[in-house]
Amino acid sequence: MATEALIERILAAGDGPSSSAIDALHELLDDATTEASAVPKSVAEAARLVGLSTHTLRYYEQEGLVRPARNTSGYRAYSALDLRRLVFLTRMRLSGMTMTDLKRYILLVEQGPETIPERRRIMLDQQDRIKRQIRELGLALEITEYKIRVYDGHPED
């Protein structure tokens, strides 16, 4: 499936990851499914597609997280692989991964398969942080729902 369609499917998922969105995400992160013939996107098109500002895309480039090619006019041209990396970056940032950790991870990716054990360690650490965030948000939701129930019985409080 085309990168653009996969990204749209992931971002269209409503209140949580559906199996369809998760399948799309897995396919999107699998470089073997990248279509080589896809027309590169401009910075504005790429930003719209992944839900970031053009400023953020330029910042990610400045930080070495993504390196889009330039077209014959000198404008950024985001390939399917660039877009896929941007989806990864946005999900990791959303989950609270620091820029330092992201830069370290991308540097390791670019060094090749011999860095897989260290990349795995980074992902395991991130998984632990995400699980903790989920537990904390679950408690926050419980408190919120409790207060709503209380206010339903006592609207003047």
Say how many CA atoms lie within 13 Å of 9 toward its Cβ: 17
DSSP notation for the chain? --HHHHHHHHHH--SS--HHHHHHHHHHH-GGG--TTPPPBPHHHHHHHHT--HHHHHHHHHTTS---EE-TTS-EEB-HHHHHHHHHHHHHHHTT--HHHHHHHHHHHHH-GGGHHHHHHHHHHHHHHHHHHHHHHHHHHHHHHHHHHHHHH-TT-
Res 50: pLDDT: 86
pLDDT in tens, 66-123: 999 999 999 999 998 898 899 899 999 999 999 999 999 999 999 999 999 999 999 9
37 vs 57, higher pLDDT: 57
> Are 77 and 71 contacting, i.e. CB atoms less than 8 angstroms apart?
yes
What is the Cα–Cα distance from 90 to 18, expressed in whole angstroms? 18
Q: Which of the two residues, 27 and 65, has the higher pLDDT score?
A: 65
Higher per-residue pLDDT: 18 or 59: 59
Note the pTM of the prediction, 2 decimals.
0.75
Among 18-27, 100-109, 138-147, where is mean pLDDT lowest? 18-27
Mean pLDDT of the chain: 85
Q: Alpha-carbon distance 117 to 90, whole Å?
A: 23
